[in-house]
Chain A
């Protein structure tokens, strides 16, 4: 069975299906208002006490932050407007159950209809509050899972926060639910308590029976019903290795990123949406090395206006609090089409009208983006990165545009960062060949290894017959990377890498030896990348690199690197 992987790890245990309390009731009108009000208030009182206790437990088992989410439920139900509305309905003769339900449903509907992801998530909080208080009013007590035996896998339609708070993490091997995703309370708590979890597995609460053995794979979102002994052995090993690995990684939280012999590097995160900057902070990233701006332009019918873009860029700058934030201007085309931009169909989209080429031909749209970036630069350390550059004229044209916009902004009295850094993403063969020329007019480089590999190797990574050539281990790609870093060093500008190679354990020693200054990786890879960098010394990395640069095939490179892993 497949679902959404919401909390990493592997769990093997016996199923305990958590029954939902029956919350059906018959709505009544013409009730004794005084009596109903008393019932309602006492239920809220009980709910608050229960919630406070739950928060206390969560604080111990997980962290203060998770506890605060639960305490938020008390703030919500005690909200003077919300409780006023409920009590008004009760005073008009409705029973407590129906007054509570209708006001909660109203708020849930309002929250769900907004265009803001975080606000929409609050709708599930309102539902949780409603269900919790209803179960108190109806005397439908929730099943207590605190005493679940060791190696229990909890299976439920949905786990309410109060239920989740009763989880005794020593005994729970995994969690499987029918609803929810990464942002559900039970998912957040599962991650905080390091319990593997898979959400949104259809009908799982009906399919699985109490006491049967099940495997929960929280890395791939897989649930294995009645596993074979072979599968159990396989997953037991995965589980042990994963626990070891996690323990080893946790040592690297809050540490500087530097080699054994003290050479420091910056470890940044790649993001695609402003909110993901929060994840970058959570996973201990030291900056944003690549913020892809395409998402702002997708799923809509016209390009975003200046204010919309400004809000998004500023948001990231504020979340990152003066840490570097590299924002890449629109990288449209290639495999990333946007319908309303009306880009012509072409034979070779990867070699055609894309990214900086498109933007410079559609100057008004591009200037809107640059202006939004400049305005946002007043709020943090925003840096502008140009994608798909192939000649220095492109950099010069963008610099000229930026200068014009700056002078407009100054005249209008709008703040911006006067010395904003403008850098180039090195991802084409041409940019690699003229890296020395580009370096003179760039404030930084970032090597995009995914595209660089494609263009250096002249291989379409989507073509299954040619895909075997698509590998950064090819001597051609390694020489390109070495050359780019050398040119940046000679010009005295910092050079980073924002492709998948930056978090590749095998390649990192080469990058250390070449002198890479910044590694930009996915949020999930921050700690493992820091760990790898911390395990190598420059001297060892140099020795390995010397050998690697001598061998002649991608296969030999990979063998040598695999053999030398720490």
Chain B
């Protein structure tokens, strides 16, 4: 299991489009992807759960990847968030 704490900097936060971009990209990995935010564990492959978590710009989240390709998955997740989630 690998994890990293990161701050969301894209203006929209995890709204529809950015959340869709993220969930879609994460679906490619076999590992379980969890976003820890505000005491909740959010399924990082589920657009609906990410939207429901209401993660706004400037929020700090912990990404946890667990599985065969966890390192690649975490790397991809971080790059995606740092690049602004397609905004």
A→B interface (CB under 8 Å): 68-69, 72, 75-76, 79-82, 107, 110-111, 114-116, 118-119, 122, 310-311, 314-315, 318-319
Would you call B11 and A315 a contact (CB within 8 A)?
yes
A318→B52 contact, CB < 8 A: no
- CA distance in complex: A80, B46 (Å): 6
A118 touches B49 (CB 8 A): no
* Residue from A72, A111, A114 within 8 A of B17 (CB atoms): A72
Q: Report the bound CA distance from A319 to B56 in whole Å.
A: 13
Smallest distance from the beta carbon of A537 to chain B beta carbons, Å? 38
- A311 to B13 CA separation, bound complex (whole angstroms): 11
- Among residues of B, the one whose C-beta sits closest to the C-beta of A277 is B11
B window 34-58: CB within 8 A of A: 43, 45-49, 51-52, 54, 56-58
Query: Which chain B residue lies CB-closest to A84?
Result: B46
In the complex, 18 of the A-B residue pairs with CB atoms within 8 angstroms, ordered by the A residue number, are A72-B16, A72-B17, A72-B20, A75-B23, A75-B47, A76-B47, A80-B46, A81-B43, A81-B49, A114-B54, A118-B12, A118-B15, A119-B15, A311-B56, A314-B58, A318-B10, A318-B57, A319-B11
In the complex, which residues of chain A have a beta carbon less than 8 angstroms from the beta carbon of B49?
Answer: 79, 81
Known A79-B47, A80-B46; further 16 A-B contacts with Cβ < 8 A: A72-B16, A72-B17, A75-B47, A76-B48, A81-B45, A107-B48, A111-B51, A114-B52, A114-B54, A116-B54, A116-B56, A119-B51, A119-B52, A119-B54, A311-B56, A315-B56
Query: With a CB–CB cut-off of 8 A, which chain B residues contact A107?
Result: 48, 52
With both chains docked as a complex, state the minimum distance between the C-beta of B9 and any C-beta of chain A, in angstroms: 7
Question: Residues of B with Cβ closer than 8 Å to A?
Answer: 9-12, 15-17, 20, 23-24, 27, 43, 45-49, 51-52, 54, 56-58
Chain A residues near B57: list those with CB within 8 A.
Answer: 311, 314-315, 318
Contact partner of A68 among B17, B23, B45, CB < 8 A?
Answer: B17
Note all chain A residues with C-beta closer than 8 A to B15: 118-119
Q: Which 7 A-B pairs have the closest CB atoms?
A: A81-B46, A318-B11, A319-B11, A75-B20, A79-B48, A114-B54, A79-B47
Q: Which of B11, B51, B58 is close to A122, meaning CB atoms less than 8 Å apart?
A: B51
Q: Point out the residues of chain B lying under 8 angstroms from A76, CB to CB.
A: 47-48
